[in-house]
Amino acid sequence: MAVILVTGTAGFIGNEVALKLLERGDEVIGIDSVNDYYEVALKRARLARLSDHPGYRHHEFCLADAPALNEVFRRHAPRRVIHLAAQAGVRYSLERPDTYVSANLVGFANLLEACRHHEVEHLVYASSSSVYGANTRQPFRETDPVNHPVSLYAATKKSNELMAHTYSHLFDLPTTGLRFFTVYGPWGRPDMAYFKFARNIVEGRPIEVYNHGNHQRDFTYIDDIVHGVVASCDAPATPNPEWDSDHPDPASSRAPWRLYNIGNNQPVELMYFIGLLEQHLGRAAEKIMLPMQPGDVVRTYADVDALGAAVHYRPDTPIETGVARFIDWFCDYYDIDRG
């Protein structure tokens, strides 16, 4: 049994990761601010799945509160940390950039400091496929340059990768960054497009389809993501003995620092995904076709060979299965009769 700190346990991925750790016998220390970026009732319902477990301890505050964070480390002495809390959303970063600076930059800096001073064995943290930004070479590989983000959200995630490297280099803190690709499934985030589509379809309202539906996304089912996160936590980052400063590998270092894509490795046409939602809801969607939005990208496609080699990560949930499971949960949770 290990003591593992998980941030963002009221969130989609953090909640599922915490459940998996508890199931295998770990003690989980959870932190979440439970902010109102999306419906708080859903976040509370997720936390209720953890609250009765004897191995779970919950703390509610924002990571920008350094004294509160340090007190949690002092009291519980976690050996490993999985950092999944963040201000999410590309479009929202156009409206409230201040929240991204506070949560994603200040909060992450506080977490790095706490890990450094409390001798944490391994920090795994959430990066994002959005760091690839204006890069159009497909599939996205960790060796690709990521110097042209197209949203502030992406810029904060790229910054997290750089901040983690400095702590790995200066203080020998093992850190692993995971670049998530469009995670979906039961208990998902209501701010994400697929969730909004489902809600509008059942309510008889039109759905807004950006870029006239010409998007592709590497939709990745939550169970596959959880497997990769937990496996990464169990494999602390190590230095790359072959790292060459004349030809630097962007995804590794002489320090114990690693970056990996974590996705499905199978881009799906957005219109096909919408069709699956319509099929399982038994209703057709009225579609409003709109142009590309600022900060958005046309296609995401993850090369996951590196994570597969490191921790045997192999996503195996077909999109048809994943969407069916999401709709089953969605209709049950919101008490919806299918058409």
* Residues identified as active-site: 153
Residue pair 191/183 in contact (Cβ under 8 Å)? The answer is: no
Nearest to 31 by CA among 52, 16, 15: 15
DSSP character string of 58-110: EE---TT-HHHHHHHHHHH--SEEEE------TTHHHH-HHHHIIIIIIHHHH
- Rounded-to-integer distance, Cα 180 and Cα 260, Å: 9
- CB atoms under 10 Å from CB of 58, counted, come to 16
Cα–Cα distance list, 62 to 10, 166, 280 (Å):
12, 23, 38
Q: State the pairing for strand pair 268-269/216-217.
A: antiparallel
Could you give the CA distance from residue 339 to residue 279 in angstroms, rounded to a whole number?
10
